[in-house]
């Protein structure tokens, strides 16, 4: 910094503060851009994986009624929640596709989970994983006429 000829330390500090603020703003803007890019990518990938999983594992049921654009993607959450894609099946019943957590499968095949989410009239939510289309019918019937579970059905993180 030989080019700067500063008369007083006040001047130096003022310039230093301005430089530091400028640098911080530039780094924050770059971080924000990266975060938005990551979130867009996660949304897109969740939707693509959801369509793919339904097309492969639920080809006789869900794949026949769910339009590709029925899915809406959401990025991962700060609490470690993986990216998800959500489709509304009607009647307040939602199908959630949860992207597999990286490293969750030692064989490197990362199938996500399909979850049926519905609520009772008391406001209690139930989430149930739909492993294949054979069990879809009974699970859907429960979702359409929920028995009041009186509890939040999703297992906590330490139970998974
Ligand atoms: Zn209830």
- Convert the pLDDT of each residue in 36-63 to its tens digit: 999 999 999 999 999 999 999 999 999 9
* 86 Cα to the center of ligand 1, angstroms: 23
Closest C-alpha to 62, from 46, 77, 50: 50
Q: In this structure, is residue 20 part of a structural domain? A: no
Instruction: Evaluate if residue 160 carries a pLDDT over 80.
Output: no
* 138 Cα to the center of ligand 1, angstroms: 19
pLDDT band at 159 (very low <50, low <70, confident <90, very high): very low
Q: In this structure, is residue 11 part of a structural domain? A: no
Q: How many domains does the chain have?
A: 1
> How confident is the model over 69-109, as pLDDT tens digits?
999 999 998 888 999 999 999 999 999 999 987 666 666 56
> How confident is the model over 11-20, as pLDDT tens digits?
999 999 999 9
Domain that holds residue 107: 43-159
* 60 Cα to the center of ligand 1, angstroms: 31
List Cα–Cα distances, 137 to 21, 90, 96, 152, in angstroms: 59, 15, 16, 22
Q: In this structure, is residue 36 part of a structural domain? A: no
Residue range 21-32: average pLDDT?
A: 98
* 126 Cα to the center of ligand 1, angstroms: 9
Give the pLDDT score at 6: 65
Give the pLDDT score at 79: 86
């Amino acid at each position: 910094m030989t080019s700067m000829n500063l008369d007083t330390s006040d001047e130096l500090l003022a310039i230093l503060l301005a430089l530091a603020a400028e640098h911080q703003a530039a780094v924050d803007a770059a971080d924000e851009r990266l975060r938005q890019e990551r979130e867009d990518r996660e949304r897109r990938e969740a939707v693509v994986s959801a369509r793919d999983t339904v097309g492969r594992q639920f080809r006789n049921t869900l794949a026949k009624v769910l339009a590709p654009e029925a899915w809406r993607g959401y990025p991962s959450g700060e609490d470690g929640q993986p990216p998800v894609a959500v489709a509304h099946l009607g009647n307040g019943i939602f199908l959630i596709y949860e992207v597999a957590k990286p490293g969750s499968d030692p064989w490197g095949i990362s199938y996500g989970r399909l979850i049926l989410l519905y609520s009772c009239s008391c406001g209690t939510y139930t989430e149930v994983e739909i492993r294949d289309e054979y069990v879809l019918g009974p699970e859907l019937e429960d979702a359409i006429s929920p028995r009041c579970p009186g509890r939040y059905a999703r297992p906590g993180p330490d139970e998974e």
